[in-house]
Structure 1
Amino acid sequence: MTYINISMRNQDRFSNENNTNFEPYSKPLKNRNYSLDSICWPLYPFTLWMIIILSSCSNRKSDLQFQDVYTLDKEVIDISASEIFESFQIIPLETKEIIGEINNLIVTENHLVILDNAKTKSIFLHAIDGSQLGVIHPLGEGPGEYLFPASIAYSEQEESILVYCSLLGKIINYDLNGEFLGEYFLSGESVSDLIVFKGNLYMTLKDGEGRNILGILNYKDGREMEKIPLPNNGFKVSGIKPQYIYKSHNEESFYFKDIYSNSLSEVNMTGEIIGQKTFDLNKDYITDWKGRSLRFDEIIPEIQARGYIVITDEFIDSEGYFLINTEEGKGSGGMLLVDKETYSAKPVRNIINDMDGLYSYTSILGNSTNPGYFIVSMEPSIINLRLDQMEVGLSPYLQKLRSAGLQNDDNPVLIIYKMKTSIESLEK
């Protein structure tokens, strides 16, 4: 099998020159000037009085520096991939051991970490070119073993993979060779999601009352986990495993989102909620569902019956904009393309693929929400079917894709689109 690593920049998308650089985007967030120093002083005594009140009420866990409200545009748009993506790569995953299903994917500068908890109950480690480096699957109940790997996190700096086993209630630490480094047993909490930031493990927990808690754990020194309250919708939903936390584009903070919430809370490294992004959609559903315990199969019919537009669990951050999935009352899902500068949220019907020419996209796939990257995984059989249907002039990479020799029983192929920092069409 031939391994290809295609990277195409937007301005060169109709040439045959490849750019194989693949560096995660990382730039500081623009200064929003939301500090108290920037308040308009003609408000005089009222403003001063409010500053005193706010200062006295602030605390470590809820020091809001900004609160953005995004308004939904009525016009539904189609947008070209080349308008929002800067470049892309096509990465066939080497087939030494078969990946049954990609349930979670972590992309870093050097590695791809893949969780398959549906079929093989394994964690696959690949290099960024797709070559398979190793597989972790120590099934059992002893030290360093798990029964069901519910979630994973990866530290590029520490070169360690952390696995949460929901059935044994523990978090296990492995090195890149799959060697057992240590484990941490939880005290009855249910972990919903976890990420690694600079030596600490951040996880969303549910207590016995269903309340959201942020757990911060230094998984190397064995200290007791710090627990911090998080926002709560006031209703419960069972039957799905939602994602709750998402890294920001600069990876200096992360976002927390309760299931079906219309708000994202930005949280810094110490657990302080420093900002909030709220979508001015249907606020009624938050009120209607408060105090209720809902099953997932009840949610969609109610959304459709009441005509709600609801924010779901897939979110990808970039510097100037972000993408987030929606569920709509008319029975279809979609995406919002949200401009951070103008505070507009445009409903997107299709991302028309004018880059690699394979398929257009209607939503973010749920198995990967890495900041700055829109990632698609496809079975080789689906790609080969599309290649047979494509005209020669449709994609400058058609011949390279065909010559890759993808076999239908090979591991999935990743298509990784790097998001632009800003979008000109949104600024008009």
Structure 2
Amino acid sequence: MKKIFFLIFLVILGCDLDKHEINKNTITIRITESSDNLELKKVRLLRLQSNSFALASRMDKVMFLENRIIVLDKLRENTIFIYDIEGEFINHIHRVGEGPGEYKNVENVFWNSFTNELVLIPMDYRKKLYFDWDGNFLREEFYEEQIEYADLVFLENGELVVNYSSMNAEDNFAIYQNGETKLTGFPYNPLLDDSPLNYRSVLSKIDEDDYLLTLGLRDTLYSVNIDQLFIVPKYKLDFGNELSFKDFNNLPNPLKYFMENDIYIGVMDLFQNETFISFSTLHSTGLQGRIYSKQTGKSYSTQELIENEVGHLGFEGILGITPQNEFAAVLSSGESGKWDFSLNPSLEKQFADFGQVDKEELILMLFDLDED
């Protein structure tokens, strides 16, 4: 009954918002404003210490805890790296195998603030591996729910879950609490859920009860209330493409069309503070960063901001947010293999203080923003 009510409520409210609220809350992807309107503030660099296991040369997720930084490298090293808040290396989690407490490939890692535990989700087994925040193994637990965890927020005695519906044809979204399914929604739709997107960081906290959510190729960001158990459209996403996503996925070869045409698809790496929303969108040229101002409704290119305010550098995405609500951009060396901070003397000095930095390394830039 809760699911039926949710679907009816979403359709009715969504139609009403389309006419009124959502039209003035449109986030443009293709069309962006000049980054001259933005100014970096409280900006600083953070270099993660090298370790004997591996160099931090790829990051898929960066979590900032009270006194730890957790880095997920799922594709290159299949490892979770743990640092203190200053970037000093503490430990790594690399328990590859088929036995208890082991995994073949890591899918994701999450932090349970209620139990103070890191929770690793493997790609290969229907289980969760639990660690303390220093990376010491605690236990493993198997689960029976038909969930392929794309994103997860731990609630008190429960979970807010985004499911990889393309892998199991189940609903995309669910809230579980006290052993019960409280709410599910967004049934699997192959025209919207089968895509080349990486579902990383698709849930973003607004406040204690509300989260922002993006799902597959849907052109809407939704607001989820975990107390009242409802979800409503919050922002309309205007990608500026010639084809709708349903028409795109109806093509004989959508991937070929994507690689050969100027098209933007999907949203991930979703983070926000009181004033701005940051996210990545996928283009044939690679990931494109966007920053949306909640106050003015303007969209900006993150790459353009860095190029105009910092220097010619590689941009791997904004992949986290600090407890102080600073965005965490992951920077790499420029096309020439050089690190260029020439447009920001403060950052240039900070970088010089690091000494020799390998061109394969990644550096975090923590910052907030002002808008003219």
TM-score, structure 1 as length reference:
0.67
- How far 1:88 moved relative to its partner? 1.8
Residue correspondence of structure 1 range 207-218 to structure 2 within 5 A: 207=165, 210-217=169-176
Structure 2 contact 57–362 (Cα < 8 Å) conserved:
no
Structure 2 contact 328–367 (Cα < 8 Å) conserved:
yes
- How far 1:111 moved relative to its partner? 1.7
Match of 1:351 in 2: 305
Structure 1 residues 281 and 261, CA gap change in structure 2 (3 angstroms):
same
Deviations 1:237-263 (A, max 9, x none): 244423362213435422221223210
Amino acid in structure 2 at the alignment position of 1:365: G
Structure 2 contact 204–270 (Cα < 8 Å) conserved:
no
1:165 and 2:122 correspond: yes
Distance 1:358 1:346 in 2: 17
Match of 1:339 in 2: 293
Distance 1:260 1:401 in 2: 39
Match of 1:317 in 2: 272
Amino acid in structure 2 at the alignment position of 1:398: E
1:229 and 2:185 correspond: yes
Q: 1:377 aligns with which of 308, 317, 330?
A: 330
Distance 2:239 2:332 in 1: 36
- How far 1:410 moved relative to its partner? 8.5
Match of 1:91 in 2: 46
- How far 1:402 moved relative to its partner? 1.5
Amino acid in structure 2 at the alignment position of 1:376: A
Q: 2:67 aligns with which of 110, 116, 133?
A: 110
Which is further off, 331-340 or 235-244? 331-340
* Percent of aligned pairs sharing the same letter: 13
Match of 2:104 in 1: 147
- How far 1:351 moved relative to its partner? 0.6
Q: Could you say what secondary structure the match of 1:300 adopts?
A: helix
Amino acid in structure 2 at the alignment position of 1:193: D
Match of 1:196 in 2: 154
Distance 1:384 1:289 in 2: 36
Distance 1:121 1:333 in 2: 21
Structure 1 residues 216 and 347, CA gap change in structure 2 (3 angstroms):
same
Distance 1:348 1:403 in 2: 25
Q: 2:356 aligns with which of 370, 383, 406?
A: 406
Q: Could you say what secondary structure the match of 2:104 adopts?
A: coil
Residue correspondence of structure 1 range 236-251 to structure 2 within 5 A: 236-243=193-200, 245-250=202-207
- How far 1:115 moved relative to its partner? 1.1
Distance 2:7 2:260 in 1: 38
Structure 1 residues 364 and 213, CA gap change in structure 2 (3 angstroms):
same
Residue correspondence of structure 1 range 51-66 to structure 2 within 5 A: 59=6, 62=9
Aligned Cα RMSD in Å? 4.0
Distance 2:256 2:264 in 1: 15
Residue correspondence of structure 1 range 15-30 to structure 2 within 5 A: none
Q: Could you say what secondary structure the match of 2:153 adopts?
A: strand
Distance 1:381 1:78 in 2: 22
Aligned length: 352
Q: Could you say what secondary structure the match of 2:304 adopts?
A: strand
Amino acid in structure 1 at the alignment position of 2:338: L
Q: Could you say what secondary structure the match of 1:402 adopts?
A: helix
Deviations 1:245-295 (A, max 9, x none): 2213435422221223210111122542144311345585134246x4987
Structure 1 residues 297 and 267, CA gap change in structure 2 (3 angstroms):
same
- How far 1:94 moved relative to its partner? 1.6
- Structure 1 residue runs of 5 or longer lacking an equivalent are 1-56
Structure 1 contact 174–180 (Cα < 8 Å) conserved:
yes
Amino acid in structure 1 at the alignment position of 2:124: L
TM-score, structure 2 as length reference:
0.76
Structure 1 residues 302 and 269, CA gap change in structure 2 (3 angstroms):
farther
Q: Could you say what secondary structure the match of 1:312 adopts?
A: strand
- How far 1:169 moved relative to its partner? 2.0
Structure 1 residues 399 and 309, CA gap change in structure 2 (3 angstroms):
closer
Q: Could you say what secondary structure the match of 1:350 adopts?
A: helix
- How far 1:155 moved relative to its partner? 2.9
Structure 1 residues 230 and 351, CA gap change in structure 2 (3 angstroms):
same
Residue correspondence of structure 1 range 294-313 to structure 2 within 5 A: 297-298=255-256, 300-301=258-259, 303-304=261-262, 308=263, 310-313=265-268
- How far 1:148 moved relative to its partner? 1.0
- How far 1:321 moved relative to its partner? 3.2
Match of 1:46 in 2: none
Which is further off, 174-183 or 203-212? 203-212
Match of 1:286 in 2: 245
- How far 1:150 moved relative to its partner? 0.6
Structure 2 contact 96–104 (Cα < 8 Å) conserved:
yes
- Structure 2 residue runs of 5 or longer lacking an equivalent are none
Amino acid in structure 1 at the alignment position of 2:355: G
Structure 1 residues 127 and 275, CA gap change in structure 2 (3 angstroms):
same
Q: Could you say what secondary structure the match of 1:161 adopts?
A: strand
Structure 1 contact 94–411 (Cα < 8 Å) conserved:
no
Match of 2:33 in 1: 77
